[in-house]
Chain A
Amino acid sequence: MAVKANTKRNNVLPGFNLSLGFTLAYLGIVVLIPISTIFFKTFTLTWPQFWAAVASPRTIAAYRLSFGASIAGALVNSVFGFIVAWSLVRYEFPGKSLIDVMVDLPFALPTSVAGITLTAIYASNGWIGRYLAPLGIKVAYAPLGVAVALTFVGLPFVVRTIQPVLEDLDQEYEEAAATLGASRLQTFVLVIAPALIPALLTGFALAFARALGEYGSVVFISGNMPMHTEVVPLLIMSKLEQFDYAGATAIAVVMLTVSFVILFGINVLQRWSSRRLAA
């Protein structure tokens, strides 16, 4: 009945055909046509061509680094992003609102700026790198540097997915647990943590997906050595520069498919998460 009433009421408002028509036309021109070219281009490749591009040793090494460093970055962000979100929601401390604003910096800062800055800081003569170099820890121009850059770009995701859930979390359950004799640790593990898990997983997946496609901040800090510090977007870039469009397309299709699977997974997670919140 509600739906019926809604439709009837909406009939009063004008502009449906105009707005939807423009939306679909613009979506088609800007997004759908360009996206479809990549799949058409793939169909022009033969299987051996496709396979040679997506399964060469250099490509496999790039997948390994991209997935490994993206997972590492997303894990670091899950742990520390949770601590940041918890501190912002539950505690008072000086500079809190400044930090709350700054958490989104990786969204707003151009990736090339992030890339050269992180490289300057973590190089062996940089502000932080100089203290790590004597310990034998090489960050810039090493796989660790890739993980550092991918941690930077994924930082806001975990904080921003956990923060609102934590703010909405009803503290009465914690009080009840305390009243019933639970220790604070028990309350955290048994009462608070389960409520946050869907948001934490969503944040992890978002940070991971973002890291997987990242180019700008990685290109400077990694040193781009094939087989060693070359991530997949960089490999695609170097194939494009050599006009190897077939190879670039094949690898891009693999990465696009992975992205769409993650996107689908995130949608499922979010539905799960909102259902849990509603319950």
Chain B
Amino acid sequence: MAGQPQREPKRPGTADPPMVRVALITIALVFLALFLFIPVIAVFAEALQKGIGAYFAAIADPEARAAIRLTLMTAAIAVPLNVTFGIAASWAIARFDFPGKQTLLTLIDIPFSVSPVISGMLFVLLLGVRAPLGGFLADHGIRVIFAEPGIVLATIFVTFPLAARELIPIMQAVGSEEEEAAIVLGAGGWQMFFRVTIPNVKWGLLYGLVLCNARAMGEFGAVSVVSGHIRGHTNTMPLYVEILYNDYQFAAAFAVSSLLTLLAIATLIAKHFLERRVVPAKPEQDNLAVKVAA
């Protein structure tokens, strides 16, 4: 029954009374308007409250540009590392059987269940100047906490599971027949990897990358703990928003916010289009695997 086509004949026994239908749709729309649509509109309205000139001035401010640069740099380091990890983890987990696999899956999920503030705090405890390791690094002139490396580390931690979590079910759903064929026909390991594996999971890879990137650029709590709020130096965009807001520069705060909101909307649109392509259509695939990936 799971394979039924989307379009089904009208089923009178399963239809709700029109009154109920209208009422539920109205409630849903009002709820979403209050919590999603009005906030999004408000970001742009507040950003433009002092005119378009002030809007662009706020974005072009040197401190804003420094924040944008640090945000891009952080994502440029954290995302490739975590996507590489995602590929390695999904290959090991989806293609091989080994003891402790379930435990490994649980451990990969840990950063999801740690509060952002606690995530940042872990790195302060580990690498702050008072900690043994942090003290050692400080003696050698390497500052991690209250500096860029701390921001990058905290971001890597909070975005750690994202790519792996998306890639594991996709890798499982794609199956290994084509890879085995490649190996049996004499392909080398890396040849198989770049010619068969990567093309098979490319949409899933992009999907994981998009999600990981959105979180890396938007993380606030964890980087807030490790940044130490040095203006123009260790601010990412979400941190800079806070500084402007606490300075009562509301229009500027919302102007920077509007860029982050556009990024969020672009992420959602990309997610929507990628979701349909993550698993290449294969009729012989068993349904469970498809469901896991969905």
A residues contacting B by CB (< 8 A) are 3, 6-7, 9-10, 12-16, 18-20, 22-24, 26-27, 30-35, 37-38, 41, 80, 83-84, 86-88, 90-91, 93, 99-114, 116-118, 120-121, 127-128, 151-152, 155, 164, 168, 170-172, 174-175, 177-179, 184, 209, 212-216, 219-220, 233-234, 236-237, 240, 245, 248-249, 252, 255-256, 259-260, 262-263, 267
Contacts and interface: CB of A to CB of B under 8 A. Distances in A.
Interface string B205-220: 0000000001001111
Contacts of B241: 110, 112-113, 116
A116 B253 contact: yes
Q: Which of B1, B11, B31, B183 has the most CB of A within 10 A?
A: B31
B24 A83 contact: yes
From DSSP, what is the main secondary structure of chain A's interface residues?
A: helix
B156 A184 contact: no
Given A16-B95, A174-B11, A263-B109, 12 more contacts: A10-B96, A26-B81, A31-B111, A101-B268, A110-B220, A114-B39, A117-B43, A127-B42, A164-B294, A216-B116, A245-B125, A262-B113
Contact of A216 (B110, B114, B221): B221
A236 B261 contact: no
A99 B268 CA distance: 11
Interface residues of B, number: 103
B281 interface: no
Contact of B219 (A110, A114, A172, A209): A110
Contact of B42 (A6, A27, A34, A121): A121
Q: Which of B11, B34, B39 has the most CB of A within 10 A?
A: B39
Q: Which of B14, B97, B124, B263 has the most CB of A within 10 A?
A: B14
Contacts of A152: 35, 39
Nearest to B236: A110
B115 A233 contact: yes
A19 B107 contact: no
Interface stretch (B54-62, B84-92, B135-143): B84-92
A269 to B, nearest CB: 14
Interface in B251-277: 253-254, 257, 260-261, 263-265, 267-269, 271-272
Q: Which of A93, A118, A152, A240 has the most CB of B within 10 A?
A: A240
Nearest to A7: B97
B247 to A, nearest CB: 12
B109 to A, nearest CB: 7
A110 B265 CA distance: 11
B63 interface: no
B117 interface: yes
B96 A20 contact: yes
A23 B88 contact: yes
A155 B88 CA distance: 32
B36 interface: yes
B118 A105 contact: no
A213 B114 contact: yes
Contacts of A84: 28, 31-32
Nearest to B217: A110
A215 B91 contact: no
Contacts, number: 285
Nearest to B210: A108
A93 B88 contact: no
Contacts of B116: 111, 213-216, 233
A31 B156 CA distance: 9
A116 B125 contact: no
From DSSP, what is the main secondary structure of chain B's interface residues?
A: helix
Q: Which of B24, B220, B241 has the most CB of A within 10 A?
A: B220
11 contacts: A13-B176, A31-B107, A31-B110, A37-B126, A102-B268, A111-B116, A112-B242, A171-B14, A215-B220, A233-B117, A237-B117
B14 A174 contact: yes
B1 A112 contact: no
Contact of B98 (A20, A108, A237): A20
Interface string B112-131: 01111110011111101011
Contacts of A184: 16-17, 20
B37 A121 contact: no
Given A13-B176, A41-B125, A83-B31, A90 B16 contact: yes
B183 A20 contact: no
B72 interface: no
Contacts of B121: 38, 236, 240, 248-249, 252
Contacts of A213: 113-118
B192 interface: yes
Contacts of B263: 108
Contacts of A116: 241-242, 245, 253-254, 257
B188 to A, nearest CB: 8
Q: Which of A19, A22, A237, A259 has the most CB of B within 10 A?
A: A19
A111 B225 contact: no
Nearest to B111: A31
A249 B104 contact: no
